[in-house]
Amino acid sequence: MKFLNIRELSDPELDIFSKYSEVQLFRINEPDPGVFVAESANVIIRALEAGYKPCKLLVEEERIETEASPVFEAIRRLYGDDFLETIPVYTAKREIVTALTGYKLVRGLWAVFKRKPLPELISFLREKSRITLLYDVVNPTNVGAIIRSAAALGLDGALLTNASVDPLTRRSARVSMGTVFQLPWTKIQRKGPSGRELIGLLNDEGFFSAAMALTKDTVAVDDPLLKSAEKLAVVLGTEGSGLPEEVISACSCRVMIPMHHGVDSLNVAAASAVCFFAVTR
């Protein structure tokens, strides 16, 4: 491995870890796929096992023998000693890393990975029977938590609109505990179908589309109608405003979780877990 000790915050090799926005990382190699930054050994190892290749790592010196060691072993096991020797590993004292990022790194370890091309929408849908559609879900914590629940509770995949947060952002991947690398997903690119067109496409592909929405004509999450559907898409909206009316009306049905004590709804991530459990058990 190429251990490169960093002593100055101004070293340009560190810019990708601290100065690049998520959008800049995504577009860094345009028109080819960009890169993303993963935090902590658990998330990094899951990315490696999913076939993502690392470009460089940043490690607190105090973490080389502990947190970073299983990552090095995973790279060696998956890609061989020769590949491991080509990866630059930047090291720095904890105080330098903290000053660089403005906070302590997540257990002192980051890795930059090359992205893969996203699956094409129709081919992605034709391989699935239980999916969730994240419609303009813009909170990275919610995206990570929803994908973690989808993976844990047996869904086949997740589809995200262009406005939704990318699952490979640092926070989404970390909140998901690395399941963004285990659950198949794809994201609609710019100039994709409108909301109504997207639901129509799902319906055309044989999906029974269920919108989680606070409307009068709802069925409960454990309704046999949902569990008996050969192909099911659970449609989730962003926190607060929820799903647009055109999306709700285009779906096959509306779904609601029964509430008590005057509470009208759950956080979208919590609601997704309840619904996924109900439709897959």
What pLDDT score was predicted for residue 105? 46
Q: Between 3.40.1280.10, 3.30.1330.10, 2.50.20.10, 1.20.120.330, what CATH number should domain 121-280 receive?
A: 3.40.1280.10
State which fold the 2-114 domain adopts: 60s Ribosomal Protein L30; Chain: A; (3.30.1330)
How far is 279 from 281, CA to CA, in rounded Å? Answer: 6
pLDDT value, residue 7? 78
Provide the residue ranges of all domains of the chain, joining segments of one domain with +.
2-114, 121-280
The mean pLDDT value of the chain amounts to 90
pLDDT digits over 177-214, tens only? 999 999 999 999 877 788 999 999 999 999 999 999 88
Assess contact for 269 and 141: CB atoms under 8 A. Answer: yes
* Nearest of 185, 191, 194, 177 to residue 134 by alpha carbon: 185
- Pairing assessment for the beta strands 35-39 and 109-114 based on DSSP bridges: antiparallel
Radius of gyration of the chain (CA): 21
Note the pLDDT of residue 107.
60
- Better-predicted residue by pLDDT, 209 or 217: 209
Q: Is 100 helix (H, G, I), strand (E, B) or coil?
A: helix
Which amino acid is it at 47? A
Per residue in 83-138, pLDDT (tens digit) is 988 999 999 888 777 776 555 545 688 999 999 999 999 999 988 999 999 999 99
Q: What angle do CA 108, 111, 114 make, to 5 degrees?
A: 170
Question: What span, in angstroms and rounded, lies between the C-alpha atoms of 112 and 24?
Answer: 13
The alpha carbon of 46 is separated from its chain's Cα centroid by a whole number of angstroms, namely 12
User: Which structure tokens are listed for 99?
Assistant: 């000053």
The owner of tokens 């055309």 is 204
- How sure is the predictor about 9, in pLDDT bands with cuts at 50, 70 and 90? low
pLDDT tens-digit readout, 250-273: 999 999 888 888 787 789 999 999
Per-residue model confidence (pLDDT) at position 214: 82
Confidence (pLDDT) at 102:
58
